[in-house]
Amino acid sequence: MESFELEQIIDKYRYDESALIGILQDIQQRENYLPQDTLRELARQMGVPLSQVFGLATFYGAFSLKPRGKHLITVCLGTACHVRGSGRVVNRLESQLGVQVGETTKDKQFTLQTVNCLGSCALGPIVVVDGVYHGQMTPKKVRALLK
């Protein structure tokens, strides 16, 4: 991220230290992850300890310090989804994408991740692609989902 772009984001929040989470969200939205050099520059410009910035970036699961794909695929592995076959859905996604959970495809199109619960148990198994929930997912539906 260019220094002037970071300055614009920080300025939007009036250099308010209590807005660090919002600033991190804006950086991640723009870059699709939180580059370490950008976090260092953020700490410098805000005048806060680097440990504080990294602490926030690593505490919240919504933030990623690794580059992510253009499309984020999240599979629920909560109890209701698990008993309905979400593990088989994960296996099919891994096979179709050629990556393991937590990885990004070589073409940077997809990142596959799992969570413990998405709060939509009645619709399980649930797969979320770019914020859109897809309920009652099965291994057979994976190919159509990826298109």
Model pTM above 0.85: no
**Cβ partners under 8 Å of residue 123, min gap 6:** 133, 135, 136
Where among 33, 59, 85 does a domain terminate? 59
pLDDT, residue 83, reads: 97
In a domain, 43, yes or no: yes
Burial 21-47 (b: 16+ CB within 10 A, else e): eebbbbbbeeebbbbeebbebbbebbe
**Cβ partners under 8 Å of residue 106, min gap 6:** 98
Containing domain of residue 35, as a range?
Answer: 3-59
pLDDT, residue 43, reads: 96
Shared domain check, 83 and 55: no
Indicate the SS3 state at residue 129.
strand
Where among 59, 86, 103 does a domain terminate? 59
Number of domains, the chain: 2
Q: What is the largest CA-CA distance in the chain?
A: 52
Please give the angle made by the CA atoms of 42, 44 and 45, to the nearest 5 degrees. 65
pLDDT, residue 1, reads: 82
Which CATH number is 41's domain given?
1.10.10
Shared domain check, 75 and 51: no
* Sheet strands (E) in the chain: 71-76, 110-115, 127-129, 132-134
**C-alpha to C-alpha distance for 58 and 126, rounded to whole angstroms:** 25
Give, for all 147 residues of the chain, the pLDDT tens digit: 888 899 999 999 998 999 999 999 999 999 989 999 999 999 999 999 999 999 999 998 889 999 999 999 999 999 999 999 999 999 999 999 999 999 999 999 999 999 999 999 999 999 999 999 999 999 999 999 998
